[in-house]
Amino acid sequence: MNAVHAVEARGLDFTRGSTAVLKGVVLTARQGAIHGIVGPNGSGKTTLLRLLAGLLRPSAGTVELLGRPLAAYSHRQRARTMAYLPQNLPEPLSLTVRELVLLGRTAHQGLLGLETRADQEAVDCALDLARVAHLAGVRLEHLSGGEMQRAFIAKALCQEPSILLLDEPTASLDPAHGLQVMELLAGLRSTQAVCTVMASHDLNLAARYADEATLLQGGRVACQGNPSMVFAPERLEPVYGCGFERCPSSAGPGVLLPFPCGAKPQQG
């Protein structure tokens, strides 16, 4: 008997006006895995995530969450199953971190929206998981970029989803804060069996943390599968239009260094 995937997309097409943005995209993501979606600007990463989140309707193809058609989920059921975090976070509201995270309980609350003990416990758990418990009383406008990102991830976790869809979760973060966010996602993979599907321009972070990956080019899947295959320089070069050199590392998959086509990377 085949295992049910957390996310499964089959033959996704999406057309905007007269432009075909996605063409025949297939993607599967396992429960408790991180699936990285990479590709150059305009390749369709954000559109694919928005289709998986149900924010866009495909021109053709289907999306299933946990073996059930996305269209069969009510808005409340979808919010309890999946959380989506866009690349551009909203402008900071006049809220504390705890108040923001509590908004993630909306799908679990009754018509009156009254906060229960279960809501309080879920907020506490999300704050701990995202490592922002010490910031619970701090207002959003006083957070750094990395703290803000973790606060919104905590809000998403407060929905108690099985699936996280993240668009550029480390965008605009320095390397240290980017690593903190990825370590958080890796922890959720192992402790909560959360499936994370993330679009990323950071090939090195995606290669280091993803269990599986999809490389998009012009709205089509150029390569898909094990990161060691997807992030091979010979796979990336024709898609990105530049060369890549992999610097070996004993601590991980190594570092991908881009260089202009026709130029050899400097040695030493």
- Quick one: three-class SS letters along 91-119? CCCCCEHHHHHHHHHHHHCCCCCCCCHHH
Tokens of residue 257, six digits = 């260094």
- CA separation for the pair 230, 217 (Å, rounded): 12
pLDDT at 91: 72
SS3 state of residue 132:
coil
Among 158, 51, 154, smallest CA distance to 107 is for 158
Beta bridge partners of 14: 22
pLDDT at 1: 37
pLDDT at 111: 56
Task: Say how many CA atoms lie within 13 Å of 262 toward its Cβ.
Answer: 0
Residue 16: Cβ within 10 Å count: 11
pLDDT at 112: 55
- Please report, to the nearest 10 degrees, the dihedral formed by the alpha carbons of residues 209, 101, 45, 236 taken in order: -20
Q: Angle between the 145-158 and 117-129 helix axes, to the nearest 10 degrees?
A: 140
User: Which run of H or E residues covers position 259?
Assistant: strand 255-259
Beta bridge partners of 243: 259
Q: Where are the domains of the chain?
A: 7-231, 241-268
SS3 state of residue 232:
coil
Report yes or no: 40 and 218 within 8 Å, Cβ to Cβ.
no
Q: Pairing between strand 60-65 and 220-225?
A: unpaired
pLDDT in tens, the chain (268 residues): 356 799 999 999 999 998 999 999 999 999 999 999 999 999 999 999 999 999 999 999 999 999 999 999 998 899 889 999 998 877 767 899 999 999 998 887 655 566 788 889 999 999 998 899 999 999 999 998 888 889 999 999 999 899 999 999 988 788 888 888 899 899 888 888 899 999 999 999 999 999 999 999 999 999 999 998 999 999 999 999 888 888 776 555 667 878 886 666 555 4
Rg from Cα positions in the chain: 19
For domain 7-231, the CATH architecture is: 3-Layer(aba) Sandwich (3.40)
Spatial CB neighbours of 104, under 8 Å, sequence gap ≥ 6: 83, 122, 123, 126, 154, 155, 156, 157, 158, 159
Q: What is the pTM of this model?
A: 0.88
- CA separation for the pair 202, 12 (Å, rounded): 24
Q: Which residue spans within 30-143 are E strands per DSSP? A: 34-38, 60-65, 68-69, 82-85
User: Which run of H or E residues covers position 12?
Assistant: strand 7-16
- CA separation for the pair 73, 77 (Å, rounded): 6
Tokens of residue 103, six digits = 């908004």
